[in-house]
Amino acid sequence: MIRTRNLVFQYQKDSPLLTFPDVECPAQEQLLLLGASGCGKTTLLHLLCGMLQPAQGTVNINGQALDQMTEAERDAFRGQHVGIVFQKSHFLQSLTVLENLAMPAFLHGAAFDKREGLRLLEQLGIAHKANSRPRDLSVGEQQRAGIARALIHRPALVLADEPTSALDDGSAAAVMDLLETQATAARATLVIVTHDQRLKDRFGNRLNLTAQPQSA
């Protein structure tokens, strides 16, 4: 489903090269990428969804090679097929939670089903916040709203960037449960990038990222 080969990334022309192990995850399965801070986890996640372009190597999602696309095509592809859960969920502060859920559909030109959005919020236990401003939600609620937004447009791939590191043990477990069940329910492939050791035992499918040497 998602597969990388020999990924190498360079921020600027003379900055050190970052190399990444090959990542592979079959459709509808779940993969944990575990690594300490500073090993380029977020960089890898951005490479996986085409926000960054590798210096070498390929990223392949659903049989489509991201490096073969133009930037606009990658934007559109990501909008349609990828959902992203961030460590701290960002929202459009001027819009309500429900309107934020409508954003992915709007941005790739699809219709938004309001009932579908409310149902998802219901499952995540924050239906009563549908018409609230994002800033009026607690951190845990924001994280759940972030999961809802990543899944609302039924993407084939869900990427989660440190989804639990800002949460206490209880909330972290709850968020992970929700993320896993929702991804399964949506038949989405789930890739989690984290340094959070608490998640280690939840996933059989696991890849350790190691700190990068200065050059490779």
Partner 1 sequence: MKLNWLYIAWRNVGLKKLQTALSLVLLAFGVGLVSLLMLSEKQLSDTFDRNIEDIDLVLGAKGSPLQLILANVYHVDAPTGNIRLADAEKVIRHPYIAEGIPLAYGDNYRGYRIVGSTDAYTAHYGGEVAEGRTFEASFEVVVGAKVAEATGLKVGDEFFSAHGLQDETDVHTDKVFRVVGRLEPSGTVLDQLLLCTISTIWEVHEGHGEAVAPEDREITAVLLKKRNPLAVLTIPNTIRETNMQVALPSIEINRLTQNFGIGMNTLRAIALLIMLISFASIFISVYDNLLARRYELALMRTMGGSRGGLFLLLLLEGGLLSTGGSLLGLVLSRLGLVALAQLVEDKFRYDWSNIGVMPEELILVGLAIFVGLIAAAIPGISAVRIDTSRTLSEAQ
Using CB under 8 A, pick the residue from 52, 55, 69, 127 that binds partner 1: 52
Our finding on whether 163 is near partner 1 (CB under 8 A) is: no
Q: Does 92 bind partner 1 (CB under 8 A)?
A: yes
Work out the angle at residue 159's Cα, subtended by the Cα atoms of residues 53 and 119, and round it to the nearest 5 degrees: 140
Q: Tell me the window of 14-22, 25-33, 48-56, 183-191 that interacts with partner 1 (CB under 8 A).
A: 48-56
Contact status: 35 vs partner 1 (CB under 8 A)? no
CB of 153 to partner 1, least distance (A): 8
The residue count for binding partner 1 (CB under 8 A) is 37
Q: CA-to-CA distance for 129 and 145, rounded, in angstroms? A: 9
Name which of residues 109 to 128 contact partner 1 (CB under 8 A): 111-112, 114, 117
HSE-CB of 22 using CA atoms within 13 angstroms? 8
Residue 144 contacts partner 1 per CB under 8 A: no
Q: Does 78 bind partner 1 (CB under 8 A)?
A: yes
Of 17, 76, 127, 173, the residue at the interface with partner 1 (CB under 8 A) is 76
Quick check: 43 and 22 in contact, CB under 8 A? no
Residues in contact with partner 1 by CB under 8 A are 42-43, 46, 49, 51-52, 72, 75-76, 78-80, 84, 86-88, 90-95, 98-99, 102-104, 106-108, 111-112, 114, 117, 149, 161-162
